[in-house]
Structure 1
Amino acid sequence: MKKPHNLKIEGLSWNNAGTLLYATAVTEPNPHSSLWVYDPQTTELRKHCDNLEGEIESLETLPDDRLAFGIHDDQALSFHVYDPEQCQTVDGSRIQTPYNDIEAIAWPSANCTTMQKALQAFFIALSENEDIYLGEDRNLRVSIDGQIYQGQLALEKTQGLPPSDGQLHLIGIPDANQDGINDFLITYPSGQQQILYYQGLTSS
């Protein structure tokens, strides 16, 4: 990523499609934050909005692609919702508490459900049945032609480019966790990538 040398980036968050990276930054002497957008396809970083309040260190994308943020050293626990399309703060609340310097915000991601559904749909189409288990522990079991294959999804995800056909892709990769078995790399329609550690066949 290329950025102006005087840009102090504080908060970062991808949009739900994984195609744009939002960033908040303070450009001195202006004490307020501006919203920047990075496009990985064009490698362009541009200022998008210039009317955010205060110094924003915490930024998170909500399921509807609006942005949640908190203000640094706001003397209250403040939580705000910002519409990046309209460049407008649309909601907010403040709670008086000594714990008032928000450094990070995490929201249960709609991406997680979307990715799980895409993965389940992929294996349903592959096996022509719905005998698939995907647990909260990231364990995956798929029954194909009477045999049960098992694996575990990696905890980490990385951001890549979305597939041009908009479909989930699964490719074999060399052994990623040194257990002696080759693994798989999943690329979701959003472009996010996750390793599937293949564990072999199981009898149950």
Structure 2
Amino acid sequence: MRDMTKLLLYDLSGFLKNPDDVQYNVSAIKKVKIFIILFLVKVFIFLLLIYPLLILLNNITDLHHRGEFVEDSLFTLIAISIIAPITEELFFRLVLRRQGLVASIFSEQTWYRVFPWLCRISIVGFAIVHLDNYHNSETLFYILSPLIVLSHFITGCFITFVRVRLSFLYGLLLHSLWNFSAYLLLS
């Protein structure tokens, strides 16, 4: 398991430096193992780096959440764990495979030049959109915004990697599981 984790992190690092449209050709069981390893690595990064950073940032500027977690209801859980991930994945990561309409727009040669930029735009756009999760219009908030959405940037990196290497469905499942975990933690 340790060797597999090292290989995955090495591949993730390479992917983030230079995204390539290569899907793993592995069994469903191996895909599930990869999914679990990456989720656990994401949890580790969150607990070790992101959570302490958010506590520090909250002491500097108000990181009052817009209230998604305030109302503890089934609808909120469904909205956060199912509706938001489906909507965001369709918008940000559906185009990250040269199929259907995307294949008719981009030739194979153009695709390999455009693909890394689509990945980067997807990741950064995903992070920026999540600034709207917070209710704060102070200048300091916007100055610190790259740090504030660092969690979403990292999440976008992981989901994009999973989407490309495994499939759209696995990326969607990772997004849903992450949001569900955050809901449980914050409610």
| Larger RCO (alpha carbons 8 Å, 6+ apart) | 2
State which structure, 1 or 2, has the greater radius of gyration over its C-alpha atoms.
1
TM-score (norm 1): 0.27
**Greater strand content:** 1
TM-score (norm 2): 0.29
